[in-house]
Amino acid sequence: MKTPLRWLSRWVESIAMSILDFTPVIPIVVPDVNLQSRQALAVAAREAFQRQLTQEGRGVISMRLPKSDLFLITRLASSFEDLRSGDTCLVDATGTLMQGHPGLELPPETRYHLKSYMVRTDIHAIAHLHPSHASAYARQGKVFDLATETARRVIKEVLSVQCSECISRFCGLCSCRTDIRASYAGVNVLLLKEGGMVTLGTSLEDALNLAELAEETARESFGNSDDLRN
């Protein structure tokens, strides 16, 4: 017959072993390693609105993530006025949505943004904006004069193309038959006849600064030209 003391000892031992065998399930929260980049993209979008580089808050901005084949782009139908980090989409080079809040949709511009990054390895940000004066030139298929020394030094050249597909076809003919084979090299400001202006920059700040300078130059050219006012 077991003595009460020995029985108690084994009972305590069994309880101790049960505690040691128990492995609590702790939920692991995977941090968004691209959160800082998402926030930077959201700030750039709101800044574009504050600089009056886009009408009614419309536009698409994207960025290449460092040391990866991933990209961030603003979601479909986003408003730059109050865009937040949750309004950005993480995509791979094929355009597959890798990460984003439920319900997010990619803008149709995603395709040409990604193809442009593939062709232009020197750029890390693309801004498709709708500033009023540059857009006026774009709609008529014309380019504005680079009247200042700063514009000539920084912008160098403005290219007018028929559609966004032309931008990602830096070498060769686009389906709309715009041939830009001879003039694509080094061009970072493009006017789309189908709508808006696209700037290609080495960073988000560079793309926005280029857009602001282009719009200022277009405004000055607009004031000195009769082509668009007649």
Query: How confident is the prediction along the chain (230 residues), in pLDDT tens digits per residue?
Result: 445 556 556 655 665 555 444 444 444 333 455 789 999 999 999 999 999 999 877 899 999 998 888 999 999 988 999 999 999 999 999 999 886 666 789 998 898 899 888 878 889 999 999 999 999 999 998 999 999 999 999 999 898 887 665 555 544 445 554 544 444 567 899 898 888 999 999 999 999 999 999 999 999 998 776 555 55
d(CA 209, CA 129) in angstroms, rounded, equals 12
193 dihedral zone (left: phi>0; alpha: psi -120 to 50; beta) = alpha
In the chain the domains, ranked by start, together with CATH numbers, are 35-223 (3.40.225.10)
User: Residue 122 class from Cβ within 10 Å (0-12 exposed, 13-18 middle, 19+ buried)?
Assistant: exposed
pLDDT at position 187 is 84
pLDDT at position 186 is 73
Q: How far is CA 111 from CA 53, 75, 122, 208, in A?
A: 22, 13, 18, 21
User: Residue 163 class from Cβ within 10 Å (0-12 exposed, 13-18 middle, 19+ buried)?
Assistant: middle
> How far apart are the two ends of the chain, measured CA to CA in Å?
113
pLDDT at position 229 is 53
